[in-house]
Structure 1
Amino acid sequence: MAKGIYVSATTPGSGKSLIALGLADTLHRHADRIGFFKPVVNGPDADADPMVALMKARFDLDGERCRGGLTFAEVRGLLAEGKREEIDSRCVEIFAEMARHCDVVIVEGTDLTGQDAAVEFDLNARLANNLAAPVVAVVGARGRTALETADAVEVARKELVAARCTLLAMMVNRADPADLEAIAAAVRPGASGRPVYVFPELDEIARPTTGEVAAALGLGQVAGRPDLERDVRSIKVAAMSVANFLHVLDDGALVIAPGDRADVLVACLASSFSPESPVPAALILTGGLAPEPNIYSLLAQAPFPVFATADDTYVTARRVSEVRSEIWSGHRRKVASALGLWSRRVDEAELVERLHLPRLERTTPLRFLHELIERARSQRRHIVLPEGTDIRILRAAEILHRRDVCELTVLGREAEVREFAQKYAELRAHKGVDLAKALEVMQDESYFGTMMVQLGVLDGMVSGAAHTTAHTIRPALEFVKTREGVKIVSSVFLMLMPDRVLVYGDCAVNPEPNVEQLADIAVASAETAAQFGVQPRIAMLSYSTGGSGSGGAVDAVRQATELVRERRPELAVEGPIQYDAAVDASIAASKMPGSSVAGQATVFIFPDLNTGNNTYKAVQQSSGAVAVGPVLQGLRKPVNDLSRGCTVEDIVNTVAITAIQAQSAEPAAEPAPAAGHASSAGS
């Protein structure tokens, strides 16, 4: 039977969905099969609940492991008829069915809204008991003082104990950031002595987006950029002269104006295109009034969405002010902010220790990627993203900042370009590079970013979204150089299979490695595998297994295998070996019996780039494996390359990988310069 954990609000407006999301993210990395169950759903049917939809998408859960139960209308009807037992039995039946497919199920209770709050509290307590699920109780601190919040915690604790619930944890959410320490001091830990976790209210979660406003008001977009994830930081009604309006306009404002106010519309556009002026989040044209055609042609160029409504300005402003944002809206920036907050405020090890979860048996792609983020966050490093004009880079930087993964720098300043040019001229003087040439070179983002890493100003670099691999790697080869004992820079792809992670190298850098280079690639790939939690068992691939074949290519792999054994006798390595013998235990038993690698290899070294590149793509496309990389290895400092077709998620993952590499990178060869700092994302 799966272990259930019941997340229950104990006060209205507690923001318990943030707790459910953070708990799911934690459990997903510590249990093989998690589930999510919402006994009472928002919406017309069980499949329409937005939190159920978010959990399905976020954690790749199918309908057997992520479900809703009854609708609010059904529950109210059954309560009115005195049929509480039917509510319980139907929820227990659904939970029992889910339990067959899960190791742990997060159950999210009702919101305690309106006049039925007391009834809902009782309903949640009863369901938690019937599901045998310990309760994570969430107290909302919004609008409460520290002492009032402490009292609310104590009342909730006593009521849950009186209802005979097993209390797993108490959490306070939506606290005034200025009151965090006072609340923590005022709240008593309870009989268990366990901490009470306190979360501040985050503006980036509470603010609605332009898309949420448009959906709530049923607005149609008539012009501008279709960016529906922009945060609405304020509401401005343009009922004054343009001069006065511009004086109060600020970044992220949602501007509401009659459709015939051409002066206001043009002023919003002009402000958006001025680097020193605020940019609105969106513009709503009211009264069913349409601008003149020439104004419409200007609005088409707006860097923000423009909506229209038949309602008047007053009604529109009132309706916009009533829109509330929710995590379950699914906007990835809000989800990233929520998970970043959870990681900062919760001692994950302490919480997981309470649950006694079964040992993990497999590593899924989603779990591996989530673990990357956690490992990068555990020892924060500073990564430079030179391609700050690429919108994907900027979006990824925002996600990384909101999730609190690492420090980021996306821009440099003219003075630092000059300083770094001086250092580049010194490092490349033997190649005839003078200061004039160095100044020219340092205008290149890759050189500038790589020099920041070389001098220890920052810890690593990720580039390549808008540049070739050669352009990204060249500066590192010129002056970062390889680690001691390593002769070449190589790469691997982390191949995320359904239940494990494999390492493929070299699939991106070296076209025809010789014997010594193959050995270098094998050793570096084994080290990378270990760094990312994969026990290295190296298969040196060829078209022949063992001594069954001969020829120059096979002999080169055989010699490289022996060289690996000489250099690193502790590594498990086998070669030459064919791919099928490396991965299939039955084939390995006949072709290479007794081998510690055959049939269970985790690191695959290809004899050349042609074979490696085609194989990783074939496996990716035919098996559905997720290929993460290329991950560069062998450099003294971490520099990683992106594909020019990379997604925002690819960038986030590569930055996390680079941050993890930086945690064990060699110390800086040069002292950091004394001049100013680069501009940091989010600072």
Structure 2
Amino acid sequence: MSRRIMLIPVGTSVGLTTVSMGLVRAIEEQGIKLNFFKPVAQPRRGDNGEERSTAIIAHHASVSPITPFELDYVERMISNDSTDELLEEIIERFEEKSVQDAVTVIEGLVTTRHHPYAERLNLEISRALDADIVFVAVPGNDSTTDINHRLEIVVDTYGGHKSQKVVGCIFNKVNAPFDEHGRLRADIGAIEAPEHDEARTQALRELPIFKKGLSLLGTIDWSADLVSPRATDVAKHLNATLLNEGELSERRLSSVTFCAREIHNMTHTLKPGALLVMSGDRGDVFVSCCLAALNGTKLGALLLTGGYQPDENIMALCSQAMETGLPVMLVNSNTWQTAQSLHAFNQEVPVDDSQRIEKVMVHTAESLDASWVNSLTQKVSRQKKLSPSAFRFYLTNRARQVNKRVVLPEGCEPRTVVAASICAKRGLARPVLIGDETEIRRVAEQQGVVLSDGVEIVSPSEIKDDYVEGLVALRGHKGVTEVVAKELLDDNVTLGTMMLQQGDVDGLVSGAVNTTANTIRPALQLIKTAENASLVSSVFFMLLPDQVLVYGDCAINPDPNAQQLADIAIQSAESAQMFGIEPRVAMISYSTGSSGAGSDVEKVREATKIAQELRPDLLIDGPLQYDAAAIESVGKSKAPNSPVAGKANVFVFPDLNTGNTTYKAVQRSFDLVCIGPMLQGMRKPVNDLSRGALVDDIVFTIALTAIQAAGN
């Protein structure tokens, strides 16, 4: 059985691509087979290459979209009175390229003065593909009466309220900043959001049309975070010359200030994410901005106008500020002309802006009615592979349910502070930051985040003495006296580990600054291994484009023997099950089956036998070469009778050298998100971070730590 949903825009600039992205993500998170089809490409002015919606879905979802028909071809067919033939070709392409027994998201055309035929063609395509209709509208500044009338008209066009094909409506850009003429402020200087108007949202929910059978399927609030462009996007738009590239591709712009005042009147504008525009000969302003950067404020970028380059002596004076990653751009236009160019900046998300696309997809998916999304997935086949989106959804959804308290010993580290703020805001955990409160709040301000009441800040000096007695009791046999215990507790990781050991928190995440050894050593000494575990090992969750793989052990045990390797395999399989992955475990070696000999391959062969005997309920096989385990055609050739070959999703490596090298090679070669290492076999969850971890890596590690805590 399949479901087909066609998104129909009600008006222009409704954010149809955004809604498509969100709906695709929401369905992906259910692990359901999915198609995406925009029958007719509708490029925006200035777009080159692939159709935008199709390209974004292709690059950022576990879906292979069906190729749309080119607009020129469609218009030629319509002008030749060949619409029927066009519809036949659309149906033929859909039937040939779509995955059977799946949900299909179909994106319609937007009616514009250049495409006046769009509304009629949408109607005909929806009928040809037998799709259910979901309208996408933007309330703007219109009265609820006007909005209701507009929806009534479009519902009548598609068969009226009695039509079983008309399902509902999604409101996008709710509470967005509209001007007095009802137009969305599109200039980059208007990306600060107005206050959320709950009364307005409630009024939309209570429109008379929703009492006649039409369903409200989602209200998507406008968010400033989702429209903040990268500095590189603005640089390309302005064709700017780079005086200092810095973190041009990473920094995002959340406000714009034109610096024409005295310094003391503009210090409040020197804030994270600010694009500061000034004449290139204003050395005083330039130096002030660089001083703010040196003080830790992560400004968005400096934009110099008039073609004036700062004096060489000033550039030398500010060289250390440049080293903080501050981008500096130069344009030849004057400040007024530059302001006009910024006003014309297109804030649609670029196809290559993965971070922003991910945020848009998550925000939109979470804004859709969950019961409706679940109804789409009933009686539709589920994917055999757990997609990255489904895995992330499982992580965040399960973490919200368990609501655990996770301590973060590196409380003053900027990425950790931002991650704690996100976790509290999204309800993924109750984060506890260890560190000086003044310093933590200063870091938060520099990073442009607000720490809500959901983030707890604990000063080490205020709690350290509470754990001295417990530490002496645990380590007294190793010569730890009260004096030594106080010294050991000066280390925040040890202090956080004692909080976990005493049951004051549920889990610990560290490693953004500390080494793996510094994170794990206190845990091994104080938390120790679980009763049913012979050792502590680790796994990484590798988020490939179309599935999630589990790699173990890539961080802890240098050269496990056969018994230890079998234990690692069982632990890794159980970890996979804990996170919604049905494990098929491959014991990796340089040889498959009985084709090779040697001590290394014999160890893997013996470990496989031990693991199979200990856990006959698990699918475990080996020795298998990596390609035989991962690629179906190779698996059938090299190990035709194996229940795992070609279908493995848990890979157990024979030693640390092989595992760590493989995980890093795969991660770096394909630019993958890797979550971990997650430690397994501990009494209580302690997890390590890579020192190069991104904020999202820390957020997901906190979430999986919370889930581990619930399973202990």
Superposition TM-score, scaled by structure 1 size: 0.78
Structure 1 residue 68 displacement after superposition: 3.7
Q: Show the counterpart of 2:453.
A: none
Q: Show the counterpart of 2:126.
A: 128
Residue by residue over 1:573-600, the C-alpha shift from the partner in whole angstroms, topping out at 9 and shown as x without a partner, is 879x64479966898788x9xxx98998
Q: Show the counterpart of 2:345.
A: 323
Q: Does residue 635 of structure 1 match 2:682?
A: yes
Separation in 1, partners of 2:663, 2:255: 49
Contact 1:37 1:52 in 2 (8 A): yes
Q: Show the counterpart of 2:106.
A: 107
Q: Does residue 34 of structure 1 match 2:27?
A: no
Of 464, 475, 480, the residue aligned with 2:511 is 464
Give the counterpart letter for 1:258 in structure 2. S
- The 5 A counterparts of 1:222-621 are 222-223=243-244, 225-246=246-267, 250-274=271-295, 280-298=299-317, 301-302=321-322, 303-354=325-376, 356=378, 358-363=380-385, 366=388, 369-376=391-398, 378-379=400-401, 380-387=403-410, 406=429, 408=431, 412-413=435-436, 416-429=459-472, 430=476, 431-433=478-480, 437-454=484-501, 458-494=505-541, 505-511=552-558, 520-521=567-568, 523-535=570-582, 571-572=617-618, 578-579=623-624
Over 3 Å counting, the alpha-carbon distance change for 1:634 and 1:53 in structure 2 is same
Structure 1 residue 293 displacement after superposition: 1.9
Name the SS for the 2:309 alignment partner.
coil
Structure 1 residue 294 displacement after superposition: 1.9
Give the counterpart letter for 2:312 in structure 1. P
Contact 2:232 2:249 in 1 (8 A): yes
Name the SS for the 2:497 alignment partner.
helix
Over 3 Å counting, the alpha-carbon distance change for 1:217 and 1:83 in structure 2 is farther
Structure 1 residue 119 displacement after superposition: 4.2
The more displaced of 507-516 and 17-26 is 507-516
The more displaced of 236-245 and 378-387 is 378-387
Separation in 2, partners of 1:9, 1:212: 27
Contact 2:62 2:546 in 1 (8 A): no
Separation in 1, partners of 2:14, 2:225: 17
Name the SS for the 1:461 alignment partner.
strand
Over 3 Å counting, the alpha-carbon distance change for 1:49 and 1:445 in structure 2 is farther
Q: Show the counterpart of 1:672.
A: none
Contact 1:522 1:564 in 2 (8 A): no
- The 5 A counterparts of 1:137-216 are 137-146=135-144, 148-162=146-160, 166-176=165-175, 177-178=196-197, 179-186=200-207, 188-189=209-210, 192=213, 194-216=215-237
Give the counterpart letter for 1:240 in structure 2. R
Q: Show the counterpart of 2:54.
A: 52
Structure 1 residue 329 displacement after superposition: 4.9
Name the SS for the 2:69 alignment partner.
strand
Give the counterpart letter for 2:311 in structure 1. E
Structure 1 residue 634 displacement after superposition: 1.6
Give the counterpart letter for 1:135 in structure 2. I
Superposition TM-score, scaled by structure 2 size: 0.75
Separation in 1, partners of 2:32, 2:467: 49
Over 3 Å counting, the alpha-carbon distance change for 1:109 and 1:445 in structure 2 is farther
- Same amino acid, percent of matched pairs: 31
Q: Show the counterpart of 2:191.
A: none
Name the SS for the 2:158 alignment partner.
helix
Structure 1 residue 244 displacement after superposition: 2.3
Structure 1 residue 489 displacement after superposition: 1.8
Separation in 2, partners of 1:90, 1:378: 46
Over 3 Å counting, the alpha-carbon distance change for 1:650 and 1:201 in structure 2 is closer
Give the counterpart letter for 1:630 in structure 2. P
Separation in 2, partners of 1:46, 1:84: 26
Give the counterpart letter for 1:320 in structure 2. L
Over 3 Å counting, the alpha-carbon distance change for 1:183 and 1:456 in structure 2 is farther
The more displaced of 222-231 and 401-410 is 401-410
Structure 1: where are the runs of 5+ without partners? 666-683
Name the SS for the 1:363 alignment partner.
coil
Structure 1 residue 531 displacement after superposition: 0.9
Separation in 2, partners of 1:495, 1:280: 33
Give the counterpart letter for 1:417 in structure 2. P
Separation in 2, partners of 1:50, 1:326: 10
Separation in 2, partners of 1:564, 1:228: 49
Contact 1:36 1:55 in 2 (8 A): no
Name the SS for the 2:304 alignment partner.
strand
Q: Show the counterpart of 1:8.
A: 8
Q: Show the counterpart of 1:681.
A: none
Structure 1 residue 20 displacement after superposition: 0.6
Over 3 Å counting, the alpha-carbon distance change for 1:147 and 1:403 in structure 2 is farther
Contact 1:268 1:279 in 2 (8 A): no
Give the counterpart letter for 2:118 in structure 1. E
Contact 1:128 1:165 in 2 (8 A): no
Separation in 2, partners of 1:443, 1:422: 10
The more displaced of 410-419 and 474-483 is 410-419
Q: Show the counterpart of 2:240.
A: 219
The more displaced of 618-627 and 485-494 is 618-627
Name the SS for the 1:24 alignment partner.
helix
Separation in 1, partners of 2:672, 2:249: 31
Separation in 1, partners of 2:692, 2:490: 24
Give the counterpart letter for 1:293 in structure 2. E
Over 3 Å counting, the alpha-carbon distance change for 1:96 and 1:385 in structure 2 is farther
Structure 1 residue 16 displacement after superposition: 2.1
Q: Show the counterpart of 2:632.
A: none
Structure 1 residue 264 displacement after superposition: 1.8
Separation in 1, partners of 2:675, 2:459: 33
Structure 2: where are the runs of 5+ without partners? 176-195, 438-457, 630-634
Separation in 2, partners of 1:254, 1:626: 29
Name the SS for the 2:172 alignment partner.
strand
Residue by residue over 1:316-368, the C-alpha shift from the partner in whole angstroms, topping out at 9 and shown as x without a partner, is 12331332422345434433432332343224353232354631242055456
Q: Show the counterpart of 2:23.
A: 23
Q: Show the counterpart of 2:454.
A: none
Residue by residue over 1:473-522, the C-alpha shift from the partner in whole angstroms, topping out at 9 and shown as x without a partner, is 11211222333433432223457789876655445323455787566545
Separation in 1, partners of 2:268, 2:588: 68
Q: Show the counterpart of 1:669.
A: none
Name the SS for the 2:141 alignment partner.
coil
Structure 1 residue 204 displacement after superposition: 1.2
Over 3 Å counting, the alpha-carbon distance change for 1:458 and 1:218 in structure 2 is farther
Contact 2:66 2:98 in 1 (8 A): no
Separation in 2, partners of 1:218, 1:598: 52
Structure 1 residue 78 displacement after superposition: 6.4
Over 3 Å counting, the alpha-carbon distance change for 1:117 and 1:45 in structure 2 is closer
Structure 1 residue 133 displacement after superposition: 2.5
Contact 1:12 1:117 in 2 (8 A): no
Contact 1:37 1:105 in 2 (8 A): no
